């Protein structure tokens, strides 16, 4: 580990020197690339510097204690420094181990989130709307931007399907744990007997694909249909044919976008969704080839895996992947997701560390 840290420290110092060179400053592309790498290495370099400082204090204290001949008060002070430095070294070593874990290359990407009502009809559609609201409120609390890409609304105000983008630093690193089946248990407003119903909603979190990542031949690979946008109950949003349906012929994947008035805008958004879906499919295929002890035990999960239950009568949320149960349902649905995501990220890191030890 320390050989890695020394090598990364050298690299960090080298990049720092390059960033001050006029030829680099004047090359915007190179400067941006180096600055990105600098920001990635900076917390590791700072953590390693703190560790070396703590180690130096620890060794000084140990040397004084081994030499002996200290008066009582000074010995107590040196002993306190010895213990404090030892604890700090252990704490920083654990942090550095996590920092050195292989990074998910998608962590800094923006995301596209697709939410679909599953079992439960209108009640599932209403809960899909609740999750859409939860994620947009969470994004707002993180300073991220959201944009609605496509929505298929129901007459009661829910969504059969809603797709939106989240743009901001680290969006995928936080939201990637949300992919899977979300189950809700509550009494629907239409239920006269007061019985609790169970419904499901599926969530897919896709890293936003860049044009360079996927080569799509628009003429050969895509079938593009134009139709009129429609809203809940079949009412037309506008009278022009601006809605777009794109079929990716090699995979049969279909994407629709109808929320913009412009055919051009709907097509651009549909292509963005398609690219992200295809990238996600490609990465899932690659993940299957990775040995189990090298994978996260939390990760993004199987799309069909039931990951979480929202129980309204008990005000409870349970994440089944890590056995987490909290009784703050209302706050979470209002966007206070950090407690849940932090627990998932910690479990993910622990699983990866275990995998590193086993390998």
Q: What is the pLDDT of residues 310-320, one digit of tens each?
A: 999 999 999 99
User: What's 155's domain CATH number?
Assistant: 3.30.70.1660
Same-domain status, 57 and 185: no
* In the predicted structure, residue 207 carries a pLDDT above the cut 80: yes
Same-domain status, 199 and 306: yes
Q: What is the pLDDT of residues 16-53, one digit of tens each?
A: 999 999 999 999 889 988 998 898 899 999 999 999 99
Residue 301 near residue 205 (C-beta atoms within 8 A)? no
CB atoms within 10 A of CB 276: 28
Same-domain status, 192 and 239: no
pLDDT bucket at 309, cuts 50 / 70 / 90: very high
How far is 322 from 238, CA to CA, in rounded Å?
47
pLDDT bucket at 233, cuts 50 / 70 / 90: very low
How far is 273 from 258, CA to CA, in rounded Å?
13
Domain boundary (251, 270, 289) is at 289
Classify 100 as helix, strand or coil.
coil
Can you give the pLDDT at residue 240?
Answer: 57
Residue 127 near residue 203 (C-beta atoms within 8 A)? no
User: What's 281's domain CATH number?
Assistant: 3.30.160.20
Same-domain status, 140 and 244: no
Q: What is the pTM of this model?
A: 0.66
Q: What is the pLDDT of residues 152-206, one digit of tens each?
A: 888 888 999 999 999 998 899 999 999 999 999 998 766 667 788 899 999 999 8
Alpha helices in the chain (DSSP H): 2-18, 22-25, 28-67, 72-99, 121-141, 171-175, 218-221, 263-287, 329-333, 338-358
Domain boundary (239, 260, 289) is at 289
Same-domain status, 90 and 133: no
- What's the chain's average pLDDT? 84
- Total domain count for the chain? 3
Q: Which domain holds residue 87?
A: 2-99
Percent of the chain with pLDDT over 90: 44
How far is 122 from 311, CA to CA, in rounded Å?
18
Domain boundary (48, 72, 99) is at 99
Q: What is the pLDDT of residues 330-353, one digit of tens each?
A: 999 999 999 999 999 888 888 877
Same-domain status, 174 and 304: yes
Same-domain status, 123 and 197: yes
Read off the pLDDT of each residue in 117-125 and give the average, rounded to a whole number: 88
Q: What is the pLDDT of residues 132-153, one digit of tens each?
A: 999 999 999 999 999 998 888 8
Can you give the pLDDT at residue 357?
Answer: 58
Classify 241 as helix, strand or coil.
coil
pLDDT bucket at 323, cuts 50 / 70 / 90: very high
Same-domain status, 61 and 195: no
Can you give the pLDDT at residue 279?
Answer: 81
Same-domain status, 152 and 9: no
Residue 260 near residue 242 (C-beta atoms within 8 A)? yes
Read off the pLDDT of each residue in 95-105 and give the average, rounded to a whole number: 80
Can you give the pLDDT at residue 234?
Answer: 44
């Amino acid at each position: 580990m320390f050989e890695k840290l020394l090598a990364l420290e050298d690299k960090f110092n080298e990049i720092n020197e390059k960033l001050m060179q006029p030829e680099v400053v004047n090359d915007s592309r190179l400067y941006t690339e180096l600055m990105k790498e600098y920001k990635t290495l900076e917390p590791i370099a700072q953590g390693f510097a703190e560790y070396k400082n703590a180690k130096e204090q620890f060794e000084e204290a140990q040397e004084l204690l081994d030499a002996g001949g200290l008066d009582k008060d000074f010995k107590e002070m040196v002993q306190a420094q010895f213990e404090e430095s030892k604890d700090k070294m252990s704490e920083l070593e654990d942090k550095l181990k996590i920092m050195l874990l292989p990074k998910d290359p998608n962590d800094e990407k923006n995301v596209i989130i697709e939410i679909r009502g599953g079992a439960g009809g209108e009640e599932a559609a209403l809960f899909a709307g609740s999750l859409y609201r939860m994620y947009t409120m969470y994004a707002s609390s993180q300073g991220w931007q959201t944009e609605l890409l496509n929505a298929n609304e129901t007459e009661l105000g829910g969504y059969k399907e809603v797709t939106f983008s989240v743009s901001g630093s680290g969006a995928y690193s936080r939201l990637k744990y949300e992919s899977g089946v979300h189950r809700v248990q509550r009494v629907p407003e239409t239920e006269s007997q007061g019985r609790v119903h169970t419904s499901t909603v599926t969530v897919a979190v896709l890293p936003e694909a860049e044009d360079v990542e996927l080569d799509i031949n628009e003429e050969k690979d895509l079938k593009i249909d134009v139709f009129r946008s429609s809203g809940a109950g079949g009412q037309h949003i506008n009278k022009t044919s601006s809605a777009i349906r794109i079929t990716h012929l090699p995979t049969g994947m279909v994407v629709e976008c109808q929320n913009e008035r412009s055919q051009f805008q709907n097509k651009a958004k549909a292509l963005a969704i398609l690219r992200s879906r295809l990238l996600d499919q490609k990465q899932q295929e690659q993940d299957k080839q990775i040995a189990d002890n090298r994978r996260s035990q939390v990760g993004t999960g199987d799309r069909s895996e039931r990951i979480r239950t929202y129980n309204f009568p008990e005000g409870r949320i349970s994440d089944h992947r890590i056995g987490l149960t909290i009784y703050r349902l209302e706050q979470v649905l209002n966007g206070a997701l950090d407690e849940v995501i932090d627990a998932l990220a910690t479990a993910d890191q622990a699983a990866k560390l275990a995998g590193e030890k086993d390998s």
